[in-house]
Amino acid sequence: MALKEVRIERDSLGEMEVPREAYYGAQTARAIRNFPYGGPRFPRPFIRALGLLKRAAAEVNMELGLLDPRRGQAIVEAAQEVADGRFDDQFVVEIFQTGSGTSTNMNANEVIANRATELLGGERGSKLVHPNDHVNLGQSSNDVIPTAIHLTILMLLGEELLPALAELQDTLHRKAEEFMPIIKTGRTHLMDATPIRLGQEFMGYAGQVERAQRRLRTVAEDLREVPLGGTAVGTGTNTHPEFARRVCARIESLTGIPLRETENHFQGQSSLDALVFASGALKAYATGLMKIANDIRWMGSGPRAGLGELVLPAVQPGSSIMPGKVNPVIPESVLQICAQVLGNDLVVAIGNQWGNFELNTMMPVIAHNLIQSIQLLAGASRNFARQCIAGLVATERGPALVEQGLMLATALVPVVGYDAASRIAQEAYRTGKTVRQVAREQLNFTEEELERILDPVRMTEPGFSAGPGGG
């Protein structure tokens, strides 16, 4: 790079060329050189959280008399600009970097310091506002980065994922009500079972999503405990005893998200158990969403050679060679997203194992996978609700097959016993007749009694479909 295009900055390792117009400094420039993998960078939600933490830290350090107001106010303004996304292009360090995230913490410190210096009339690189002494005052990458991860996830849960799940739950619930009059054959082990209402199936799907929200709220409560204030190894060296508590209060005033300083800093930095717990809840929801998407895909299979109980919205042509083919592309995209989330969970679990002694050294990749999982699941849930669930139409295929179902014989069990009912079901299967036809031939019941006993509607409700009787 030509000399006129760079400025020379110094860090503890010596001089380093930095692009003249860059807001980052020497340590970030070294990280660019050290980690040239072409991988992803920290996304907007994380940069927002980090900017807010740096702003809150500067405000608290001014309150504590540790940072002069002139520099402090400049840092507050610069940090808020970072949080607002003005300098996203200056966050150039990849995810695959030092395991503590130090390079990204210093990337933020340098950008904020140089912007604050600029606001005070100084030149970038002059360190009128110092990235370590002023912006990082009372902090370490080892407590700031995990705290920023917690805050990022809490914001994403509240702003993206939980609202998306609520929308999906509501859409499924409305479909459950619409489909409640429709009686179809239930399936267990992929085989015919007793009748069920199509609406009851969708009631089950809505219940899965509702319980996923409960689990995620438990996760959110766990993540409110943050390791800020532990600095390097959890002892809190070089920070004011009131720093972390006050920063947490500032963050709540800025975001509405209550945080609390951990009572045990040594677990908060040496392990990321809470993040594994969060990932586990995301995995649980992903597997549930896979079940829902796959059920709907199968119920919509056909239209002539499959189950054909549902018609899915036709959103695009399904084949480059077969004219008129329409595929269940929305459920299939959801399934792929869920598979990605399951893979991300494995990375998070492996990452937490690398909590060697006083510090976890997989923080950036854990953060990346959690953020991606949340954003993917939020997008999948919204899109699934809007482009698939809302437009589902039930066909006559499900109700038409109920009378052919052999498991109608279950309703005979309270009346004639299991063995006799089983023989009737086997005879119906062997001869191709319905259970009702065989029962009519073999049992001494009137037509009205058979109608009452073999009523599929009553079989979708708790209790016996018929009282004791002979025959």
What pLDDT, on a 0 to 100 scale, did the predictor assign at position 470?
38
**189 assigned to active site:** yes
Question: In the chain, what percentage of residues exceed pLDDT 90?
Answer: 97
pLDDT, average across residues 255-277: 97
Catalytic residue among 141, 240, 319, 333: 319
Three-state secondary structure call for residue 345: helix
- Between the alpha carbon of residue 299 and those of residues 172, 190, 332, 349, the distances in Å are 15, 12, 14, 35
What pLDDT, on a 0 to 100 scale, did the predictor assign at position 464?
74
90-145 pLDDT, tens digit per residue, is: 999 999 999 999 999 999 999 999 999 999 999 999 999 999 999 999 999 999 99
pLDDT at 167 over 90: yes
What pLDDT, on a 0 to 100 scale, did the predictor assign at position 465?
58
Q: Report which of 166, 204, 182, 214 is spatially closest to residue 292, judged by C-alpha positions.
A: 204
What single string gives the DSSP state of each residue in 90-131?
A: G---BSSS-TT-HHHHHHHHHHHHHHHHHHTT--TTS-SS-I
65-89 pLDDT, tens digit per residue, is: 999 999 999 999 999 999 999 999 9
Question: In the chain, what percentage of residues exceed pLDDT 70?
Answer: 98
Which residues, including other chains, have CB under 8 Å from residue 90's CB and lie 6 or more apart? 22, 23, 24, 107, 111
Please give the structure tokens belonging to residue 67: 């940072």
Which residues, including other chains, have CB under 8 Å from residue 336's CB and lie 6 or more apart? none
Average pLDDT, the chain: 96
pLDDT confidence tier of residue 463, bands split at 50, 70 and 90: confident
436-451 pLDDT, tens digit per residue, is: 999 999 999 999 999 9
CB 47 within 8 A of CB 104: no
pLDDT confidence tier of residue 468, bands split at 50, 70 and 90: very low
pLDDT, average across residues 414-433: 97
174-225 pLDDT, tens digit per residue, is: 999 999 999 999 999 999 999 999 999 999 999 999 999 999 999 999 999 9
**CB count in 10 Å sphere of residue 418:** 12
pLDDT at 264 over 60: yes
pLDDT at 471 over 70: no
What pLDDT, on a 0 to 100 scale, did the predictor assign at position 2?
54
**103 assigned to active site:** no
Please give the structure tokens belonging to residue 294: 């796959």
267-290 pLDDT, tens digit per residue, is: 999 999 999 999 999 999 999 999
Catalytic residue among 100, 189, 253, 368: 189
pLDDT, average across residues 371-391: 98
User: Domains, the chain, ranges and CATH?
Assistant: 3-137 (1.10.275.10), 143-225+267-396 (1.20.200.10), 403-460 (1.10.40.30)
pLDDT at 328 over 60: yes
β-strand 260-261 against 225-226: which pairing, if any? parallel
What single string gives the DSSP state of each residue in 45-84?
A: HHHHHHHHHHHHHHHHHHHTTSS-HHHHHHHHHHHHHHHH
What pLDDT, on a 0 to 100 scale, did the predictor assign at position 466?
53
